[in-house]
Amino acid sequence: MEAPHVPVLLNPLLAAVAPVRGTWVDGTFGAGGYARGLLAAGAELVIGIDRDPAVFALAVAWAGDYGDRLRLVQGTFSELDVLAGEPVDGVVLDLGVSSMQLDQPERGFSFLRDGPLDMRMGQAGPSAADLLNTAEESRIADVLHYYGEERAARRIARAIVAARPLATTAQLAEVVQSCLPRPKPGQSHPATRSFQAIRIWVNDEFGQLLAGLEAAERALKPCGHLAVVSFHSLEDRVVKRFMQARANAAGGGSRHAPVAQLDPPAFTLPFRRAIGADADELAANPRARSAFLRVAVRTDAPAGRADPARLGLPRLPGGV
């Protein structure tokens, strides 16, 4: 059997939520790295949720070793409270695309490996090709700008429409590269931002993120931990502001405005800043360079809702 996949920031996460006990939800099961880590650290039960049915076929080779301590459920983490079916002691979310999905050219996530222009995490609904080949140029430009922070969004959108129909990741990467300067040594691939933005669009990742954070708040027992690993600034900003808002730690507002009535805090924040990788992990896994871990601890206050406008949640003009 292959060596177990070691997810980013696993050891800092386990240290931050120690002692690990009771029932945990791994809302982005993937290759099962966090689930295995939680089980080894003392979790009595891990409920592994993933929207990608392919991950469960890969887990067959080892999941049985854990018996009834590991329960696998297909679905989105936006519904984790319902899918778990019981209050839980912890929730772990690893945002974005997994390295396993990037390594499969047929999934269409990577600009480094040619494959069909798909990008669907759940293998259902419109693919990236479906959306890019039918959407208006202005819509594509908005996606690249709001979800990828791509400064050349309009130029790239114009080139995508001119090159339609697009069918492969190599075609899309070539179109994007043609619109941008050649990268300097050490800079990321020119297509990085565009592929990120289109993937987010295809999978409604920001809508799923907000719903998933709220679902975790509903699912967690008092003193339960919410641990979220993110890989780019837009995701991390939403997670940070959600935790601050639900902990009533986001600041007091303007001295010219009346003080708003605040709900009882649903979380406390044990760490002032995000946790990053140490030198040893960075040396072993360069992907950890952009990873941030944030942790919140549930109180006994009733679950509530977060205001998307206060979270800096990227939204396309006219909705998703």
What's residue 1's pLDDT?
37
Q: Nearest 5°: CA angle at 61, between 60 and 65?
A: 90
Which tens digit of pLDDT belongs to each residue from 249-290? Answer: 865 444 555 555 678 999 999 999 999 999 999 999 887 888
Dist. CA 131–CA 114, nearest whole Å: 19
pLDDT in tens, the chain (320 residues): 344 567 899 999 999 999 999 999 999 999 999 999 999 999 999 999 999 888 899 899 999 999 999 999 999 999 999 999 999 999 999 997 766 666 666 787 788 889 999 999 887 899 999 999 999 999 999 999 999 999 999 999 999 999 999 999 999 999 999 999 988 887 889 999 999 999 999 999 999 999 999 999 999 999 999 999 999 889 999 999 999 999 998 654 445 555 556 789 999 999 999 999 999 999 998 878 889 999 999 999 999 998 888 898 888 987 65
Side-chain-side CA neighbours of 5 within 13 Å: the count stands at 17
Single pTM value for the model: 0.91
What's residue 97's pLDDT?
73
**Which residues are bridge partners to 168 per DSSP?**
116
* Chain-centre distance for alpha carbon 159: 29
